[in-house]
Structure 1
Amino acid sequence: MAGAMGIMCSLLVNAVFGLVMMALVAIADTYFHWRGHNLSSVWRRGLRGDERMNRILRYTLERRGHRVVYARTVPGHGTIDQLVVGPGGAFLVQNDAWHPEAELSVHGGKLFIDGRTQTAMVKAVTGAAATAGALISQQTGMDVKVTPIMAVHGGRLTKAPFTADGIVFATPFKALRWLRKHPHADYSPAEVEMIAQAAIHRLPIGGRTMTSAPPTAA
């Protein structure tokens, strides 16, 4: 492709212009191939993406006043990957990787993956977010809403981010940008810490529960 572009531009303009265009096409083609390979790397290794997201969160939001609770159990709903609490609210982040050719889209507000609805997955994620919010609200005495986000590692999103069935779908970094730009609360640093501690108390690791209670709202 680069060679053909170089020859054509050399004939139409001059040799120097042809060499420049050939280099630009080669760079662009390399970038797009690398990007596709990188986006599908999690799926190719048989991973879900939670470890990658853990690293991203530690180097981004956790350094900007957010608290992240990792790998907790929501009673009745299994394990969640991350619960992010910041000034703008609380967000449940789940991670999953799809085949590079899988298409994730939204139609009529509903999620479709390769043309099929995903009722079971949607219920699992939204149910976990609702239950986590209810448990944290009971612990803190505050009305804490937990917004579910699906970080997509691989696959093709028809647009990113998009909201389907009450869940935000986006690639990891776009998910973080969406989270920061769409606050649903206005928490003080003390409230952020209190909510995070309540999540640690009410969402155990491996079914364990804490024995000491975290602070509650006055």
Structure 2
Amino acid sequence: MPGGSIYVQQDEKYTGSSPQWWYEKFWREGAQNRRRSRVVKAAVGFVLGYAVALRFDLAGLVLGLLFAGIVAGADWWIDWRSFQKTAVWRGRRHGETITGKHLRRSLGRHGYSVLDGRAIRGQASIDHLVIGPAGVWLIDNESWSPDTELACYAGRLFFGEKYGTKVAKPLVEAAEAFAELLSRETRIPVTITPMLAVHCGMLPRGGLLQAEGLTLLKPRLVAKQIKAVEGAVLNDEQIELLTRTAARELQRA
């Protein structure tokens, strides 16, 4: 095998297919160990429930089974949730669909418009453009492997050991280009804030990171971050004009 050793047998799990494929393979192979661990945890829950029942003179078997069921259910939910968090990275779900639903559900009733999949002809494209009372936001979606740490050091963005400038710079430039176009066409001074919804990857505690002019955050936090901006800079007429102009001037990506 090229690059291998004739003296050391190759381990197949380090060769071949994509990281996503191997992640799913190892997840399936680990199902039996997870079930065994769940049984042990449920047994501990049963003992704890039985002890509590004896302490308060309750039905020991019933309370023990109840505790065991709660522990097993919680353990299953945590495992399932951790796997589902990688769905976008594994290509099983579309990040723009998830974020779009969050935005419409949380912002629609607060006077915000959401345009999906827009692009300046021949230039940048983005997943969502949000226009509302507190301003305008450009939102894109991205996903990294579950063990990739997203961090900021000395003002620079890092994805693991790699610089994040190649990701941040195009989004910041796209926000500037979109703002210039909308300001020119509507004669309303517009500044657009770029955001990146991170569907998989290790963000700092709190699920939010700001660096190099870009805000990175969990998809469920995007609408919350927008609503947290105080003060209204756009009225209803301006919001409508900007939305109509964006829908007309920005082609669907």
Residues 201 and 11 (structure 1 numbering): CA distance in 2 closer, same or farther, change over 3 Å? closer
Q: Which residue of 2 aligns with 1:119?
A: 165
C-alpha displacement of 1:49: 0.9
Residue identity over aligned pairs, in percent, reads 30
CA contact under 8 A between 1:48 and 1:95: conserved in structure 2?
Answer: no
C-alpha displacement of 1:62: 2.7
Which residues in structure 2 correspond to 1:1-218 (within 5 Å)?
1-6=40-45, 8-9=47-48, 13=52, 14=54, 15=60, 18-45=64-91, 49-74=95-120, 77-159=123-205, 160-183=207-230, 185-205=232-252
Number of matched residues? 206
Residues 183 and 117 (structure 1 numbering): CA distance in 2 closer, same or farther, change over 3 Å? farther
Larger radius of gyration: 2
Over the aligned positions, Cα root-mean-square deviation in angstroms equals 2.5
C-alpha displacement of 1:53: 2.2
The normalised TM-score by structure 1 is 0.82
Residues 118 and 184 (structure 1 numbering): CA distance in 2 closer, same or farther, change over 3 Å? farther
User: Structure 2: how far apart are the matches of 1:98 and 1:201?
Assistant: 33
The normalised TM-score by structure 2 is 0.71
SS in 1 for 2:251: coil
User: Structure 1: how far apart are the matches of 2:172 and 2:122?
Assistant: 12
Q: From the two aligned structures, give the one with the greater strand fraction.
A: 1
Per-residue CA deviations over 1:77-111 (Å, capped at 9, x if unaligned) read: 42111110011110000011222222222333332
SS in 2 for 1:84: strand
User: Structure 2: how far apart are the matches of 1:109 and 1:48?
Assistant: 30
In structure 1, runs of 5+ residues without a counterpart are 207-218
Deviating more after overlay: 87-96 vs 8-17: 8-17
